[in-house]
Structure 1
Amino acid sequence: MMMVRSAYDKKKDDIHFEYWQRCRYLPEDKLIALLDHDNFKLSLEAAASLQLRGGSKIIRLAQMDSFSNRYKRRALAAFILGQIKLNTKEEKISLKILYDLALNDQSAIVRSYAVSSFGHRCEKAKKKYADTLLSLAQSTVLDKSVMVRVSTAFALSVFKNRASIPLLIKLLKDTHSEVKNWAAFAVNVNNYDTPEIRNCFVLLLDEKNFEARFEAIIGLAKRQDKRVTQILIHELSQERIYDEMVEVTAYLGDVSLLPTLYQVKDKFGTFKELNTSIKVLEHLKSKL
């Protein structure tokens, strides 16, 4: 059972939809004009529309804007270059621009968008630029800005390469919970597993940030690390529970979770993930 969205999250979604509606049918020149709007979120939605429409004019504009003396235009330029369709020559130029912005721009928001966009380009190129991204991440993993370190964790999530593990471990030990959250996500999505990763996840079990704690719980359960058993029992005893936490009890394979799963069944009724986990653990118990 997924937790109900907060009123804050719903309001954010409503605002995003409002901006999307406002931009979706605007002509190109009107969208370009919105890039200078005082409301950055509206400008970002205009940039997203331009990115989706693509074309050489927008590509050239973004490449030129990357040298603007206005940091917001540089940030929007980096955003556009991340996922717009590019030919080989345009991509080569754009990657150099993004790399330079990520390392050298004075604005943290520009560096952050540049790192994320470099990750998107790496993903689109099917790992072609993975080594270059790893080289970039060696520096950005130490950036003073939380936003840049979050973007670095995201960028390292888009492809699987065990050379990323030392960088992600640094991010798992970061002082900021959102960085640790994205680093844990990158580890989980790529199924990395080392003793140090597991130990980092155990430390994340005490995080106040639920998303980071959630990633750690899921990660430890899938790696069959029984240090997470008592935490799972606690989480599954709450009034609102996540389907994923029910599902990973089967991966963990700890039959001591069965009484808790029976309680979940009594409280919420049956559902696919619960039925599967109970069946798996009952089978394991029968072999003891």
Structure 2
Amino acid sequence: MAISIYSKNKEDIEFQYWERCRNLPEEKLIALLRHNNFKLSLEAAKVLQLKGGSKVIKLAQMDCFSNSYKRRVLAAFILGQINLNSNEEKVSLDILYNLALTDKSAIVRSYAVSSFGHRCNRAKKYLDSLLALAKYTVLDKSVNVRESTAIALAMFDNKASIPLLIKLLKDTNSDVKDWAAFAVNANGYDTPEIRNCFVSLLNENNFEVRYEAIIGLSKMKDKRVTQALIKELNKDIIYDEMVQAAAYLGNVALLPVLYEIEKKWGSFNELNTSIKILEHLKSKL
């Protein structure tokens, strides 16, 4: 997928800030956390996170109680993936849990959920705590918090998260639904309710949401996806994953559209494989 000019410029700016920060001493990095330019402060926080150390950990834990929401955001971010001992981890998880539930700033709550997820991913024994937190954050009024919840749940293969993901699949925001569908597909969840949610998502205007639904239903071999897949395969821009989905689904009704793709674009590995699989299935009928 092509990178937009906006995304490219954003990446260039982030890289410039990273280059500015990566060799700075700890004190100067800490000073940059107070900078008016939040993006620069965030790159400084990334470097501090990598460097680690008790001083940075204590500062981050203290800043979680700062009057400045930006400092709380940066603090929550640092605590997400910095190396911690068992005691520091327990304290940090308690802080992040409370921020995720009670902070008045939605962006702070969002970062706290994300960091809590990262911490639980590093120490799987805390997964139950993430599930307990997510029961509340899936209902948060902030789109960012609900999206962060879906991303956090994507990190874990645990069927106990399915009811939470179903709530997120029914969200009003397309980005939330996209990440929830991604979480379902990443972990291979398959239930009748998930399938029904995915069928509903086939009508989404957002391509990323439709993409996840089509891929998911195809892997589940749910033939209700057939017409949506044919529609995508008839477009001027065709993604390899959509061609592969034809093989996942295993519906020989897709052969004509695959032949048309071959006629128009020539053969390629994904197309050849899908045609071969479907022709084999057809020969068995």
- How many angstroms does 1:19 deviate by? 2.0
Q: Where in structure 2 are the equivalents of 1:135-150 lying within 5 Å?
A: 135-150=132-147
Change in CA separation of 1:58 and 1:217 when aligned onto 2, cut-off 3 Å: same
| 1:152-231 equivalent positions in 2, closer than 5 A | 152-231=149-228
- The CA deviation at 1:143 is 0.6
Q: Secondary structure at the match of 1:72?
A: helix
Q: Distance in 2 between matches of 1:212 and 1:197?
A: 14
**Take 1:130 and 1:113, find their aligned partners in 2: how far apart are those partners?**
18
**Does residue 97 of structure 2 align to residue 92 of structure 1?**
no
1:146-196 CA-to-partner distances (Å, cap 9, x unmatched) read: 110001111111111111111111111111111111111111111111111
* Equivalent position of 2:67 in the other structure: 69
Q: How far apart, in 1, do the equivalents of 2:283 and 2:100 lie?
A: 56
| Aligned-residue identity in percent | 73
Please name the residue that 2:17 is paired with.
Answer: 19
Paired with 1:129 and 1:265, the residues of 2 have a C-alpha distance of 50
SS class of match (2:141) = coil
Deviation at 1:265, TM superposition (A): 2.4
Amino acid corresponding to residue 198 of structure 1 in structure 2: R
> In structure 2, which of residues 27, 35, 38 is the aligned counterpart of residue 37 of structure 1?
35
Q: Find out whether 1:130 has 2:127 as its counterpart.
A: yes
TM-score normalised over the length of structure 2: 0.96
Task: State the alpha-carbon separation in 1 of the partners of residues 32 and 269 from structure 2.
Answer: 47
Alignment match, 1:268: 265
Shift of 1:210: 1.6
Moved over 6 A (4+): none
Following superposition, the deviation at residue 13 of structure 1 comes to 2.0
* Amino acid of the structure 2 residue aligned with 1:80: I
Greater alpha carbon shift after TM alignment, 234-243 vs 216-225: 234-243
Tell me which of 105, 113, 116 is aligned to 2:114. 116
Match of 1:241 in 2: 238
Q: Tell me how far 1:109 sits from its aligned partner.
A: 0.5
One-letter code aligned to 1:65 = D
Q: Distance in 2 between matches of 1:269 and 1:32?
A: 56
Distance in structure 2 (CA, Å) of the matches to 1:226 and 1:17:
45
Inter-partner Cα distance in structure 2 for 1:107 and 1:66: 12
Task: Return the alpha-carbon distance in structure 1 between the equivalents of residues 280 and 32 of structure 2.
Answer: 60
Q: CA deviation at 1:87?
A: 0.8
- Partners of 1:138 and 1:205 in 2: CA distance: 26
Give the TM-score taking structure 1 as reference length: 0.95
In 2, Cα distance between equivalents of 1:9 and 1:270: 32
Superposition deviation, residue 21 in structure 1: 2.0
User: What secondary structure, in the 3-state scheme, does the structure 2 residue paired with 1:5 have?
Assistant: coil
Residue deviations 1:246-279 (CA, integer Å, cap 9, x gap): 1121110011111222222233333322221111
Distance in 2 (alpha carbons) for counterparts of 1:88 and 1:159 = 21
Deviates more, 1:57-66 or 1:238-247: 238-247
- TM superposition shift of 1:52: 1.2
CA distance in 2, matches of 1:184, 1:112: 19
Separation of aligned partners in 1, 2:182 and 2:251 = 24
CA distance in 2, matches of 1:107, 1:161: 29
Q: Give unpaired runs (5+ residues) of structure 1.
A: none
> Partner of 2:125: helix, strand, or coil?
coil
* Inter-CA distance 283–149: structure 2 relative to 1 (3 Å threshold): same
The answer to whether the aligner puts 1:46 opposite 2:40 as a matched pair is no
What's the offset of the Cα at 1:8?
2.2
CA distance in structure 2 between the partners assigned to 1:26 and 1:241 by the alignment: 46
* Deviation at residue 56 of structure 1 after TM alignment: 1.3
